[in-house]
Amino acid sequence: MASYPEANSEYRLRLYLAITLTVFSLAHPSQAGITSHFDAEHQTWAYSNGLIEARFELNPAGLFRFVGLRTRAGAEWRSAFPGNSSPICFRLGGKDRWDESRTFRLVSHGLRRPGADSARLSIVLDDLRRTGQVTLEFDLYEGHPVLRYGVRYRNLTESPTYVTRAAPVSWELSDGGERYRAMRVEQWMPVEDPADFDAIVTTLAEDATPVSVDTGAHGRYCTWLALADRQSRGLAWGWEFDGRATVTAAQNAEWARLSLQSHIPDLFHQVAPNAEFQVPRAFVAAFQGDWDAAAHATQRFVERALAKPAPPARNGKAFPYAAWDSWAYGQDIDEAKLRRNAEAAARMGIELFIVDLGWARMLGDWREDPKKFPSGLRALSDYVHGLGMQFGVHFAFGEAMAEAPVFQSPSHQDWTSSVNYGYYGARSLCLAHDPVRRWIVEQAVRIIDEYNVDWILQDGENMVRECRKDTHTHHPGDSNYAGAVDGLGWILREIQSRRPHVAWENCENGGNLMTFQMVQNYVTSIVNDASGARDARKATSGATFPFPARYADRYMPEDRMIPYVTRSYLFGGPWIFMNQLTQFSREDFEFASAEVARFKDIRGLVTAGKILHLTEPAAAGRTDAIAAWDSATETGVAVVTRDNTPHGDTFWLRIPEADAERSYRIRFAEAPGTFTYGGQQLRTQGVPVKLPGEWYSEVVYIDGIK
């Protein structure tokens, strides 16, 4: 605890009220770009992009604190009195706290513009004991009611220090006398107590009982939490960390406090003299409306500021792709089978051809199996490219069989993590151990170059491993942070910097690692593996709350090509067939080809539009509907699926985003005719969608009439 006294309570009260009145008596933030105003007398910052305004202070006692947020819509989010909320929240060793109680002096501050529509406010503070320095970075983007923030600590001592606690989410807000609901979304965990992208809404108890969100590799939830009050004013937080982290939200009505806190376990990160430690970045998005509004604010920001850019259109092929994956054959693949399927895939309109697990001699020996590929894997790659498709391979770079050549060197026997995760009988490599990660990078670059690879399907079991070995280059108590940042993150950055043209798909454990760090390294992610039609719709529904639709790709294992099946995979990111295409009947092949063309027709709208979750997610015995809407063109597309619904021949599709003053043309994939509906009717009564079979799906196209 700092030894410097705070200002007396009367002065602090006057100062807090003065700052609060200054912030919240302002007119709505202007829409004239991004601005930053520094009040030198009170050492306060006002930072705005016209949609959201954030205020911070360095008070007379030297305490750096958050003051409040305000949105153009008039929502106000104030720090809990007396201003004890700070984005600085980490600890060195056992008791050296760096938080709202730490005293600092201002070293420098300034606004930098990395792009025409973005800005970064940097504030540099020295600890008054001169043991360390903190740099705070706040990012705003025009057109987005989102504040992204990060905290870096620099060690100014002559000895190493150790970060033992770091909180990317640390907010203490006044509850304003309101009640709050929280939404969190599961990721994929096929365990005894399974998780499968359920969107869970909970009303916060008023007695400070927390709602908990455990996230990251092998966590239960996505790294996203949204809160909304009774007036549908809300904030959504996202944190950019692949390792395990827990975020809690709690309301204490007696103290009028809304608390958001976070914890990163297994953190013991060494910071050398004059070196820096980065607390995982996070963001907070303001929204007004339902949970779809929270999702839309998040997704637009993620695409603008965080997500790996989608692959550019090439040779008429746009992202997300229609793809084929060899897993229909398991590991029983060979050159002849794959060539025949490649020919069929090209005729069907497939754009990406992926060779799944089984192409290599074994896990950890990343060379083609000569028995399966007598002409070599490069010959197959060239053949696929010659058919006009891109070529991808499965690569579980964190796994190696005990008999793999990598373990034949005595010095490599210690390359495994202390916990083995048993991926297809392989041993788990410790990705945070420096020689391991460098070996992986060289293997990846060689694979890409030798086999002319366009796409990596990166798989594995828990890519942020627990490892407590004291013989590795990471600290034995730091495997979570080191495994995420210095391990998995470093490996991906290094490979992608050397081979930037290759696109990467996340497939950790079939739909885990759904984080806002993941989106920065991959162009898409599987959601719940090859779980079938109903579960594919369910996962897409849940995943498209936190993440853009392109981060919900689907593996289709079914062989029967009927609308109920194919349209369960129509909505989201890449649509990946997992079928033996050469076994399709002529009718199935023609229908699948037509559905691929339909997917290509709507994929741009689905990935760019606002996602509308129009019903509860997919379940047996009910009809589900999901839509994408482009408010700029007043166009939309909806997929409505009847899942053995009794008496469900007609579903009334309502589009709440429709303009009540306009008219719309409606057409269907199956039902004949084109119809005109007024926007008000579309919003309230809706349009009847005919679903004549108990297992049936219809696609509805909506076009505004000028």
Residue 315 pLDDT grade (very low, low, confident, very high; cuts 50, 70, 90): confident
**Residue 559 belongs to a domain:** no
Residue 140, SS3?
A: strand
| 243 and 330 housed in the same domain | no
| 279 and 342 housed in the same domain | no
**Residue 161 belongs to a domain:** yes
| 193 and 296 housed in the same domain | yes
Mean pLDDT over each residue of the chain, to the nearest integer: 94
| 433 and 503 housed in the same domain | yes
CATH of the domain at 631: 2.60.40.1180
**Residue 316 belongs to a domain:** no
**Residue 479 belongs to a domain:** yes
| 280 and 134 housed in the same domain | yes
- Predicted pLDDT of residue 84: 81
Question: Average pLDDT in the 568-594 region?
Answer: 98
- Predicted pLDDT of residue 82: 64
- Predicted pLDDT of residue 28: 39
| pLDDT above 80 (res 356) | yes
| 272 and 346 housed in the same domain | no
Last residue of a domain, one of 525, 545, 565: 525
- Predicted pLDDT of residue 73: 86
**Residue 91 belongs to a domain:** yes
What pLDDT digit, counting tens, does each position of 145-161 carry? Answer: 999 999 999 999 999 99
| pLDDT above 80 (res 183) | yes
Last residue of a domain, one of 481, 506, 525: 525
In angstroms, the CA 690 to CA 702 distance is 16
In angstroms, the CA 333 to CA 288 distance is 51
What is the value of pTM for the model shown? 0.94
- Percent helix, strand, coil in the chain, to 5, is 25, 35, 40
Closest CA to 475 of 91, 217, 162, 265: 162
Residue 13 pLDDT grade (very low, low, confident, very high; cuts 50, 70, 90): very low
What pLDDT digit, counting tens, does each position of 27-43 carry? Answer: 334 445 999 999 999 99
Neighbouring residues of 342: CB distance < 8 A, sequence distance ≥ 6: 353, 380, 383, 384, 387, 389
Residue 15 pLDDT grade (very low, low, confident, very high; cuts 50, 70, 90): very low
| 97 and 246 housed in the same domain | yes
Question: Average pLDDT in the 168-177 region?
Answer: 96
What pLDDT digit, counting tens, does each position of 417-440 carry? Answer: 999 999 999 999 999 999 999 999
Q: Pseudo-torsion of CA 84, 90, 94, 96, nearest 10°?
A: -60
Residue 25 pLDDT grade (very low, low, confident, very high; cuts 50, 70, 90): very low
> Which residue's structure tokens are 């008596």?
25
Tally of structural domains, the chain = 3
The half-sphere exposure of 663 on its side-chain side, counting CA atoms within 13 A, is: 7
**Residue 566 belongs to a domain:** no
| 284 and 373 housed in the same domain | no
Residue 316 pLDDT grade (very low, low, confident, very high; cuts 50, 70, 90): confident
CATH of the domain at 64: 2.70.98.60
| 507 and 650 housed in the same domain | no
Question: Average pLDDT in the 328-347 region?
Answer: 98
What pLDDT digit, counting tens, does each position of 452-491 carry? Answer: 999 999 999 999 999 999 999 999 999 999 999 999 999 9
Terminal-residue alpha carbon distance, the chain: 65
What pLDDT digit, counting tens, does each position of 660-703 carry? Answer: 999 999 999 999 999 999 999 999 999 999 999 999 999 999 99
Residue 627 token pair:
């839509």
**Residue 692 belongs to a domain:** yes
Q: Express as a percent the part of the chain with pLDDT over 70.
A: 95
| pLDDT above 70 (res 50) | yes
| 160 and 301 housed in the same domain | yes
Question: Average pLDDT in the 503-512 region?
Answer: 94
In angstroms, the CA 466 to CA 420 distance is 9
Residue 81 token pair:
């009195």
- Predicted pLDDT of residue 317: 86
Neighbouring residues of 379: CB distance < 8 A, sequence distance ≥ 6: 335, 373
- Residue 683 structural domain: 612-705
Last residue of a domain, one of 493, 510, 525: 525
| 288 and 359 housed in the same domain | no
| 326 and 297 housed in the same domain | no
**Residue 687 belongs to a domain:** yes
